[in-house]
Structure 1
Amino acid sequence: MTIAVGDKLPTATFKEKTAEGPVEVTTDELFKGKRVVLFAVPGAFTPTCSLNHLPGYLENRDAILARGVDDIAVVAVNDLHVMGAWATATGGMGKIHFLSDWDAAFTKALGMDIDLSAGTLGIRSKRYSMLVEDGVVKTLNVEDAPSQAIVSGAATMLEQL
């Protein structure tokens, strides 16, 4: 079953590389009592993710936060070190959370997993964005194709806020 507007997010623990080192981040810590924009990408360092999807959120970070959002996070089925390297390479470290869903547990619990083995990526996340308030999905934008970042992009999210 795929997550829908009005659903509570499943409980999960992510890994995040910070300036202080690796940390665990739970869904309770990230979402409880907060308004958070969460977006997912099929993979760090992949073309659409790095050239289109992530840059929109980094460039519009202040505008998104100014609309009453407490935090922004990106999640991918990549390991902690890849997500940390991506955060550093893009200048996003410390600006948004780069969450590693290393075993795809969160992605599968959402029903957002996709098999991209034909492209040598294996099981990954569909590309989506959502506004989450106190752990409950308020808006959900899922791309039809992993190579697009339009309906899940920062511009769409800004319009919805």
Structure 2
Amino acid sequence: MTTLKAGDSFPGDVTFSYIPYTEESGDITACGIPVSYNASKEWADKKVVLFSVPGAFTPTCSVSHLPGYIQNRTQLKEKGVDIVAVIAFNDPFVMSAWGKANKITDDSILFLSDPDAKFSKSIGWADAASGRTGRYALVIDHGKVTYADIETERGSLKKSGADAVLASL
């Protein structure tokens, strides 16, 4: 269990679970089919912002954290970001519904599941008490971590919010 830090390579074995948005399953009550999303492969030649939340549909995550990224999608793209992704310990069905509830019907933000907080635990950023993913943000630029920080204050977005990540780019 090693915490990722700026200058590190992004691990080569990171896979999340994901339900790609389709018009056929666009209704919030419709279920798509989960697929594996090999982040290590998909992100190897891209600039990526990955932010993690303790849970979909939870207060800080839904009211402040995710909305900051939704509102700043254009500014992130202008800074050269190819992919914005959010992870939580929730299953892919909940993550898909969270994207639909927030009217994300394209790939401007990927809603990925970190089952059992496997990735977050591997970097030491899962909550020990709950087993959930921590609240953190990473910037990965062509396989190299250029920004990595975790919130230590409950409900804070000083390190993992869109404004902090934009300032780091």
CA deviation after TM superposition for structure 1 residue 93, in Å = 3.8
* Native 8 Å contact 1:12 1:105 kept in 2: no
Once residues 15 and 93 of structure 1 are traced to their aligned partners in structure 2, the CA distance between those partners, rounded to angstroms, is 18
8 Å contact from structure 1 (residues 126, 146) kept in 2:
no
Displacement after TM superposition at 1:28 (Å):
2.5
**1:127 paired residue among 116, 123, 135:** 135
| Partner AA of 1:129 in structure 2 | A
Structure 1 match to 2:121: 108
- Within 5 Å, which residues of 2 pair with 1:31-42? 31-42=43-54
Cα distance in 2 between the residues matched to 1:135 and 1:146: 30
- Give TM-score, length-normalised by structure 2: 0.86
> SS at 1:144's partner residue?
coil
Residue 112 of structure 2 corresponds to 99
Task: Check whether the contact 1:37–1:69 (CA below 8 A) recurs between aligned residues.
Answer: yes
CA contact (8 A) 1:48 1:147 kept: yes
Match of 2:66 in 1: 54
Query: Aligned partners of 1:12, 1:149: CA distance in 2, in Å?
Result: 25
Using the alignment, how far apart are the partners of 1:34 and 1:68 within structure 2?
9
Query: Against the structure 1 CA distance between its residues 93 and 14, is the aligned structure 2 distance closer, same or farther, given a 3 Å change threshold?
Result: farther
Choose the corresponding residue for 1:72, options 84, 94, 106.
84
Counterparts of 2:15 and 2:167 in 1: how far apart (Å)?
30
Q: Structure 2 regions of 5+ residues with no counterpart?
A: 23-31
In 2, Cα distance between the equivalents of 1:9 and 1:106? 11
Unaligned 5+ runs, structure 1: 117-121
SS in 1 for 2:166: helix
Q: Per-residue deviation at 1:30?
A: 2.8
Q: Which residue of 1 aligns with 2:7?
A: 6
For residues 66-118 of structure 1, the C-alpha deviation after alignment (integer angstroms, 9 at most, x for no partner) is 111111000111101110110110112422111101122111111111134xx
Q: Which residue of 2 aligns with 1:151?
A: 159
**Structure having the larger proportion of residues in strand:** 1
**Following TM superposition, by how much is the alpha carbon of 1:31 offset from its aligned partner in structure 2, in angstroms?**
1.2
The whole-number CA distance in structure 1 between the counterparts of 2:165 and 2:122 is 23
- 1:26 paired with 2:27, answer no
